[in-house]
Amino acid sequence: MTVTAALARSTVAARSVGTPAALVARISAGERIFLPGSGAEVPELTAALFSGHAPPLDITASFVPGINAVPIEALPEGARYTSCFAQPSPPGAQANGRFRHLPVSYGGFASHLSRQSFDVAIVHVSPPDAAGLCSFGIAVEFMPIVLKNCRRVFAVINPRMPRIPGAETFDIARANLIAETDEPLCEYDVGAPSAQASRIAEHVAAFVEDGTTLQVGLGKTPDALMRIVSDRRRLRLHSGMLSDAARLLAECGSLDAQWPHMSCVHVGTAAHYAWLSGRDDFQIRGCDQTHSPAVLAGLPRLVAVNSALGVDLFGQANLEMLGGRMLSGVGGAADFAQAASLAPDGVSIIALPSTAGRGGASRIIAKLDGICSLPRHAVDVVVTEHGAADLRGATVMERAERIIAIADPAHRTSLQDAWNEIAARF
């Protein structure tokens, strides 16, 4: 054993407090703490913090809807939770200040965090190597930003966190306290492809050529898209999140071997995490890099593919609110959509089913009555299972006509009537 390795081991032993839940006792009431989300969440720590036994804290986190649950109702009295993602929560949670939703993109959240200070930051990392360096593994996200301005760092070491050469690292000597766990990492399994998702993906695939830089979200349609474009070559991945389908492209020889395929997180199955371990062709970096306007502006042939809850006839997209309730946030979609739309060779695509729910309500609507997550000038193409509405170079009237054409046939007449009424005032 080298001297450095011995020091790393002694650091872990000297600063260990046992399990992640034991860290809560070392945090004082009113302190500001930052929790990593997505695949870096520590569920045992979440359960301990959102309980009647925890002190009231000012928690900021990057928890992602559908991956990380936020039990707002279990927050101790006097505590509050802040995030750039809204989560399904009890009515009034935002109004009474227990849940603070910041309506910003990932890039905006990174900028916000750079101006904040925290009393405690939690890092979820791999065991240290011989030099005392731990890997952030599958999730880097906002940690490099947060760590620049926090008083104490509590490290959770997990042997299930893969060591990925292209991921950011953390020097274990910087940890004030250390907890150890062998808990499975948070997973996301997209499940079997659906016929509808495959039809949508087929229309999107027409915009993906050899040499495209591709950004996708999570879900059945992105997964189906990756499968369809596996016959393309020299594809470059630059995304906020990547999942199991990235492995498919790598194994099919679809990826550009000379390109550093980058994301701020991988969220997938345990098998995907194991596959990533030791690979040097994927980089996991902080959001200040992955979502940087300067970096995005330099990506060649950027095709950004994002989903939405609804799109109106102006081409505006709602990614956050449904039925009057906040369900999510804009995430990185705004950063990538704007960059792709402005690029001379880029395309910003919104892909969504034409209807929702058993009642078949149209997700193409005449005019948004809630939040506009993406303005019309950041949306180039709208895709449903009925086709692709290419809005580039189209007038306001032409955009509406093209979007109506890809709505569910049962809703096209009512949409046209609504549009005629709107357009009569122009």
Q: Is residue 186 part of a domain?
A: no
Residue 343 exposure: Cα atoms within 13 Å on the Cβ side: 24
Do 53 and 106 fall into the same domain?
yes
Q: Is residue 188 part of a domain?
A: no
Last residue of a domain, one of 156, 180, 204: 180
* Cα–Cα distance for residue pair 421/426, rounded to 1 Å: 10
Distances (CA, A) of 120 to 23, 41, 148, 199, 236: 10, 15, 12, 47, 36
Could you tell me whether strands 213-216 and 236-237 are parallel, antiparallel, or unpaired per DSSP bridges? Answer: parallel
Q: Is 104 buried (19+), middle (13-18) or exposed (0-12) by CB count in 10 A? A: middle
Do 199 and 175 fall into the same domain?
no
Average pLDDT over residues 222-251: 97
- Show the tokens assigned to 274: 């194991």
pLDDT of 323-382, one tens digit each?
888 889 999 999 999 999 999 999 999 999 999 988 899 999 999 988 999 999 999 999
DSSP 234-293: SBEEB-SEE-THHHHHHHTT-B-TTS-EEESEE---HHHHHHHTT-SSEEE-BHHHHT-H
Average pLDDT over residues 160-186: 97
Could you tell me whether strands 317-318 and 261-263 are parallel, antiparallel, or unpaired per DSSP bridges? Answer: unpaired
Q: Is residue 189 part of a domain?
A: no
Q: Is residue 398 part of a domain?
A: yes
The pLDDT of residue 338 is: 97
Q: 164 or 97: whose pLDDT is higher?
A: 164
The pLDDT of residue 7 is: 63
Do 268 and 414 fall into the same domain?
yes
Do 215 and 121 fall into the same domain?
no
Report the CATH number that the domain containing residue 251 is assigned in CATH. Answer: 3.40.1080.20
Q: Which domain holds residue 373?
A: 195-423
- Show the tokens assigned to 179: 């907890």
Do 274 and 416 fall into the same domain?
yes
- Show the tokens assigned to 231: 């016959």
pLDDT of 66-81, one tens digit each?
999 999 999 999 999 9
Q: 95 or 144: whose pLDDT is higher?
A: 144
The pLDDT of residue 315 is: 98
Mean pLDDT of the chain, nearest integer? 95
* Cα–Cα distance for residue pair 98/96, rounded to 1 Å: 6
The pLDDT of residue 4 is: 67
Do 392 and 271 fall into the same domain?
yes
pLDDT tier for residue 3 given thresholds of 50, 70 and 90:
low
Q: Is 77 buried (19+), middle (13-18) or exposed (0-12) by CB count in 10 A? A: exposed
Report the CATH number that the domain containing residue 76 is assigned in CATH. Answer: 3.40.1080.10
Q: Is residue 81 part of a domain?
A: yes
The pLDDT of residue 323 is: 81
In the block, which residue shows the tokens 């393309």?
232
Do 175 and 217 fall into the same domain?
no
Q: Is residue 302 part of a domain?
A: yes
135 forms beta bridges with 169
Average pLDDT over residues 10-31: 91
Split into its structural domains, the chain has a count of 2
* Cα–Cα distance for residue pair 186/62, rounded to 1 Å: 14
pTM: 0.94
Could you tell me whether strands 177-180 and 150-157 are parallel, antiparallel, or unpaired per DSSP bridges? Answer: parallel
* Cα–Cα distance for residue pair 38/124, rounded to 1 Å: 11
Average pLDDT over residues 196-206: 97
Q: Is residue 249 part of a domain?
A: yes
pLDDT tier for residue 261 given thresholds of 50, 70 and 90:
very high
Average pLDDT over residues 114-136: 97
Residues 6+ apart with CB under 8 A from 82: 58, 59, 60, 61, 100, 101, 102
Q: Is residue 190 part of a domain?
A: no
Do 109 and 201 fall into the same domain?
no
Last residue of a domain, one of 147, 180, 213: 180
The pLDDT of residue 13 is: 78
Task: Return the SS3 of 336.
Answer: helix
Last residue of a domain, one of 111, 145, 180: 180
- Show the tokens assigned to 113: 């965090």
Do 103 and 146 fall into the same domain?
yes
Instruction: Indicate if the alpha-carbon torsion angle 39, 41, 44, 50 is positive or negative.
Output: negative
pLDDT tier for residue 53 given thresholds of 50, 70 and 90:
confident
pLDDT of 266-314, one tens digit each?
999 999 999 999 999 999 999 999 999 999 999 999 999 999 999 999 9
Average pLDDT over residues 119-133: 97
* Cα–Cα distance for residue pair 330/334, rounded to 1 Å: 6
Do 109 and 202 fall into the same domain?
no
CA dihedral 213, 270, 329, 202 (to 10 degrees): 50
The pLDDT of residue 259 is: 95
The size of the chain, in residues, is 426
Do 355 and 230 fall into the same domain?
yes
Residue 284 exposure: Cα atoms within 13 Å on the Cβ side: 29
- Break the chain down into helix, strand, coil percent, rounded to 5: 30, 25, 45
**CA angle (207, 209, 215) in 5-degree steps:** 70
Do 204 and 176 fall into the same domain?
no
Instruction: Indicate if the alpha-carbon torsion angle 363, 367, 372, 375 is positive or negative.
Output: positive
pLDDT tier for residue 237 given thresholds of 50, 70 and 90:
very high
The pLDDT of residue 369 is: 87
